[in-house]
Amino acid sequence: MKNLLFFLLIGLFIFVTGCSEEEPMEEEIIPFSYEGKWLGRWSDSLFPSISVSAIINSSGGNKYTGSMYVRAGTNTAYTPGYGGLNDGTIRFETDGANNVISFTYLQNAPDYKGGCPGTYEGDGAIDESINRLVINFTGTDCDGFHDNGKFIWESDN
């Protein structure tokens, strides 16, 4: 009887220790967020490289809005370079993943050349591995037609 009890205890010990191994936890996938602060460059057929910044907020679903700021000498990122509250507003929509399917920048810039409204439109994509958002665009403002445009932003969060 003692031998049977001994073997039962050994068997129970092996069973309990064998079952106590924890299953590896699955890594939680956090969806990419376009929201936040972004630093970047603007280049096109008229301007080879301009510093820009943006603050982007979700407006629900896959839609985003925000303010854009152009570096105009002494102003810092996230402050207007050409008057007003910002240098323009941006809005875009994604496909729910890495593609920006519709992008619009409505330029304000009231202190640039006596006022310089403009509209720029395009599309683009995010590279999540390096938090880089690239938008290809065309548009027109007081300087003329902007062709082969590119906004390249990197997350500043």
Superfamily for the 37-155 domain: Quinohemoprotein amine dehydrogenase alpha subunit, domain 2 (2.40.128.120)
Q: What is the dihedral of CA 146, 149, 42, 55, to 10 degrees?
A: 100
Rounded to two decimals, what is the model's pTM? 0.78
The residue among 83, 100, 103 whose CA lies nearest residue 32 is 100
pLDDT score, position 157: 84
Do the beta carbons of residue 81 and residue 115 sit within 8 Å? no
- Residue by residue, pLDDT tens for the chain (157 residues) are 555 545 545 555 555 555 555 566 666 555 567 899 999 999 999 999 999 999 999 999 999 999 999 999 899 999 999 999 999 999 999 998 899 999 999 999 999 999 999 999 999 998 888 889 999 999 999 999 999 999 999 999 8
| CA dist., res. 113 & res. 103, Å (int) | 25
